[in-house]
Structure 1
Amino acid sequence: MTLVTGATGKTGAVVVAELLKRAMPVRALVHREDERADRLRGLGAEVVVAQMHDHDQLARALTDVKQAYYVPLLSPHSLHAAMAFAVAARNARIDAVVQMSQWLSHPAHPSVMTRETWLIDRAFAMIPNLAHVIVNPGMFADNFLRTLDLAALLHIHPVMTGDSRSAPISNEDLGRVIAALLVDPRAHAGRRYRPTGAKLLTGSQMADAIAAAVGHRVIPVRIPFWLFRKVARMDGVDPHVVLSYREYLADHRAGAFEIGGGVTDVVEALTGTPAESFETTARRYAAQPFARQTWSRRLRAFVRFNLAPFWPGYDLDRYSRQRAFPVPPEPSLAADDARWREEHLAQHPVPSGAGA
């Protein structure tokens, strides 16, 4: 039995579907019963409801489980949840964990979420007799395509990364990579894999790909982070996520996602199929209802866009102070940290014969 945490999420749902295609029994861990949980049942998964911060609920979810996919929470209590899972996994004596990490993971990063991810990496590695596999992608294509409605309706693509580049990977490709690792996780024990998209792109080049997806010209528009803070609050984005974006964007502009060449063949090596292009991913988003091009939707988007500068934005420094997040004495972006470079550039190659 394979346990998939975050099973209704953007990678978890793909992992569940891919494992079921391989006729592997799957237990999908969800936070609540809803239509997404029903869809997983419809695919053939066993669905359990559990809170990630509750050790006892996690222990029950891990009963008779051989291996698990663990994706950290995007919340101020991510480390608490991970430790609860680690203790439950050790007590259950499961064989393997494939863990979602992140390319920027290091202990002195300005982002508390990234520092906690580094600790989670190490905590899971300390579980005796566990085959621990780390997947540390860079930027997700989803990060750049959540605003595709602006491109579809207003012909603009917001850019906050300057001229720096990354190779954004789709949720679908990530899910396929994770599923491939779960087929035989012991063959990958102790390894780190950096799956990426097909090509390094600037924000302007992403705008060109999005233009092809929506069927008309799209202009890349550089927007300041203060405006992003306002739009994020307008859209109800969790301030903890926005806080991390501030640091990730700084690392992006510093070239962190171009280091080591920026593009790997991990997706193809593990799944047998190359990573899809950013345009292919964008076309999938363009087909969703939020990007449907009608005059009424275009008018609403225009009004919201013009209201954004006047909307109250998140005060991220105040948010950090209120929660008393620990701060390293000498924080450094990943791109500027020699230890991070040494550690992350020593990525393991994909073992021969390990693909799908």
Structure 2
Amino acid sequence: MATNEHPNLAITGATGHVGGAVFEHLRDSGLPIRLVVRDAERAPEGARDVAEASFGDRGAATAALRGIDVLFMVSAAESADRLDEHRTFVDAAAAAGVRHVVYTSFLGAAADATFTLARTHWATEQHLRESGMAWTFLRNSFYLDVFPLFAGQEGVIRGPAGDGRVGAVARADVARAAAVVLRDAAAHEGRTYELTGPEALTLSEIARVIAQATGRTTTYEDETLEQAYRSREPYGAPDWQVEAWVSTYTAIAAGELDVVTDDVERLTGTPPLSLADLLRGS
């Protein structure tokens, strides 16, 4: 039986959007919860059990996860060594005796996915499959929340997405779905959920919705690959990051994100938010 000294659920990423929202959903659920964070001082208010560990520190992670039965593993921040960090953390979870990992993956995760970071998610899924632990994968589409940010101060979304469509999902819906899974994790062992919004939109349509909701002129500018790389040169980002940025758009152009499912509604009982809903604050 789980006790406060030996909680059965650990949540990572609680200082971020999704992990923090999942904690809020489950705070009063009666589930004993431990938050695993890099900096305990940034843990959400009201957290009773907090452990410090980074994904890449196997010793600290193993100690932080001892006594845990179910782990909600929010994928690490994007970095050149993200996959190594994921593998280290998964190994730490197995060593600590974790039984089941619920992992935030990506829609269309595959070894040959156009979106480069989806390949990392696929490799992480494979490592979890081989870990001996039970698993559940929440494969979310791109987040609806970031598209207004892509427009920036100029009000222009630029990228080589062509007329491709993306069934982007609100972070809030990913968090709601995750909370449902975590309330009864055993019922979702071995399952993969594809979490999308209610519609697949082109970037031109997304720009139009943003403009209508905000009153700010917002447009989409289709770039060639050459233009996409050149326009991102001033940021001075490393090659892996530039590839990730550009492949965000080329994955849409390739049709790999033109997916709409009812998984959010099936899990939560409520339809997912549209971009217009999100911008209205629904």
Q: CA deviation at 1:228?
A: 4.5
Q: CA deviation at 1:227?
A: 5.1
Q: Percent identity over the alignment?
A: 27
- Pick the aligned partner of 1:87 from 65, 87, 91: 91
Query: After the TM superposition, which residues 1-356 of structure 1 pair with which residues of structure 2 at under 5 Å, given as runs?
Result: 1=7, 2-34=9-41, 36-37=42-43, 40=44, 42-73=45-76, 74-109=78-113, 113-128=117-132, 130-150=133-153, 154-158=154-158, 160-223=160-223, 224-226=227-229, 228-230=231-233, 233=235, 240-258=240-258, 262-284=259-281
| Deviations 1:9-45, CA, capped at 9 Å, x for gaps | 22111111111142323222222245x42xx1x1335
**SS of the residue 1:263 aligns to:** coil
Which residue in the other structure is 2:3 paired with? none
Please identify the structure whose Cα radius of gyration is greater.
1
Number of residue pairs matched by the alignment: 271
Q: CA deviation at 1:116?
A: 2.9
Distance 2:160 2:29 in 1: 40
Give the strand-richer structure, 1 or 2.
2
Give the helix-richer structure, 1 or 2.
1
Distance 1:32 1:198, change over 3 A: same
TM-score between both structures, scaled by the size of structure 2: 0.86
Distance 1:220 1:66, change over 3 A: same
Residue type of the alignment partner of 1:48: A
Contact 2:158–2:220 at 8 Å: present in 1 too?
Answer: yes
Distance 2:274 2:151 in 1: 16
Contact 2:111–2:119 at 8 Å: present in 1 too?
Answer: yes
| Deviations 1:219-248, CA, capped at 9 Å, x for gaps | 3333441355146x27xx776433223223
Residue type of the alignment partner of 1:59: T
| Deviations 1:39-92, CA, capped at 9 Å, x for gaps | x1x133522221211111001110221211112322122222222222222222
Distance 1:200 1:9, change over 3 A: same
Q: Aligned Cα RMSD in Å?
A: 2.4
**SS of the residue 2:140 aligns to:** coil
Distance 1:159 1:87, change over 3 A: closer
Distance 1:238 1:180 in 2: 38
